[in-house]
Amino acid sequence: MLKQIVDRVDRILRRGKPRRIPASEHGIDRRNVSRHAIKVCEVLQQHGFQAYVVGGAVRDLIAGVEPKDFDVATDATPEQVKPLFRRARIIGRRFRLVHVVFGAEVIETSTFRAAGSSGQSTDAHGRLLQDNVFGSLQDDAARRDFTLNALYYDPHTEEVIDYHHGVADLKQRTVRIIGDPQVRYREDPVRMLRAVRFAAKLNGTIEPATREPIAALASLIENVPASRLFDEMLKLLTCGHAMDCVRRLRQHGLHHGLLPLLDVILEQPGGERFVELTLERTDARVRSGKSISPAFLFASLLWQQVNQRWQTILAQGQPAIPALAEAVDSVLAEQTDKLAIQKRFVTDMRDIWFMQPRFEKRSPRFVWRLLEQPRFRAACDFLQLRAAAGEVDSVFAQWWMDLADASDAERAHMLDDLSRQPEAAAADAPKRRRRRRRKPAPTDGQAPAGAA
């Protein structure tokens, strides 16, 4: 309690004055910072500009997490930054910034911005529509969302510039918004999702004043453009703590209407188990440094809805594949209306789903054709997930996984064994064409059927 009072007093006394925290205190090893981000800072500083590594990269380095990317903030305008680098382009409408390209790595370089003002364009709910007012370093720190993101690392001095005690909050695993929480959430409702994600990643807490308005303002998420919402949900589900994020979304009332699939899945029998298996496996891949397929992730999260509707349509007497197509179309129509899942992901999702009933047909000739499908391995992984949830027989699913992992010679041997099984041989046998019976020729005095 005493420490909290001291921290609060210190915040008031130092308001507007940054702390310059040395490497011995913040713990960032310069060798872990992208050499291209350092290069951008050095070039800008050599031309008389301020330039710092900023935001999530600094946060992750202090927290001991390997950053996914590196951003730079500077007092140079985009037009001043672009000519200093051989491969650089100005992008963005709401946020104009520069992408400096070094091979496969892109360093996003933004100009210091001032906090929102009465002259800025907002919608009826207070969400910022434009944010291109340039400002000072202090202005830029004030307009950032959370204290742990308002940190600036100078590669030259190896100091962290901290206006809002972000390093202290980060050490204490506390997510604290900068400014009035209600105003900041109205400016950008996605900040509520980010607060949940950061708290889950840090295994920490959201500071009470930051947490309190979330439940009341959760409906503002509906005003966020679908493409931006998809990007944020993808970050949330691939941060390595997805299951904890989903639980926290429910705890803060942010899941309703955000992803319609969560409303349904988490409340139907067996649905939550399937989601848990999906997200646990996703988290395990992220933590082990393996790649994540967004198509596979969303195919898994939407499967319970697709499967439920598929079974309903099958019960009405429709064939399996047309019934599945109808179920898939209806579910995707609902989801993509709110969440702009990119078309390339939707195509892969459909391939994974439509291969599931085809796994039931294990004739050698059909299996060879299935092996040629681009999403065969992903579909096998999906079948394994269904087996773990008790939807299909685990021995059956393992046979397909063994086939996916086998060499061509081993596959030929497996399929040779399969062809000796009666049911496979019968399925693979060519079907006899049924001979059409001829109608008897009419007798004298009897006109052919249908004749006038």
> Could you list the active site residues?
69, 71, 145
Residue 366 buriedness (CB in 10 A; 0-12 / 13-18 / 19+): middle
Residue 303 buriedness (CB in 10 A; 0-12 / 13-18 / 19+): buried
Neighbouring CB atoms inside 10 A of 92's CB total 14
- Amino acid code (one letter) for 305: Q
Q: Number of C-alpha atoms within 13 angstroms, CB side, residue 362?
A: 18
Q: Which long-range contacts (CB under 8 A, 24 or more apart) does 162-166 make?
A: 162/18, 162/19, 162/20, 162/21, 163/16, 163/17, 163/18, 163/19, 163/138, 164/11, 165/7, 165/10, 165/11, 165/19, 166/59
Q: How far is 114 from 110, CA to CA, in rounded Å?
A: 12
Is the sign of the CA dihedral 55, 61, 66, 72 positive or negative? positive
Q: How far is 273 from 265, CA to CA, in rounded Å?
A: 9
Q: What Å distances lie between residue 228 and 191, 233, 339, CA to CA?
A: 12, 9, 9
Q: How far is 403 from 24, CA to CA, in rounded Å?
A: 54
Contact 95/132 with Cβ under 8 angstroms?
Answer: yes
Closest CA to 439 of 449, 430, 428: 449
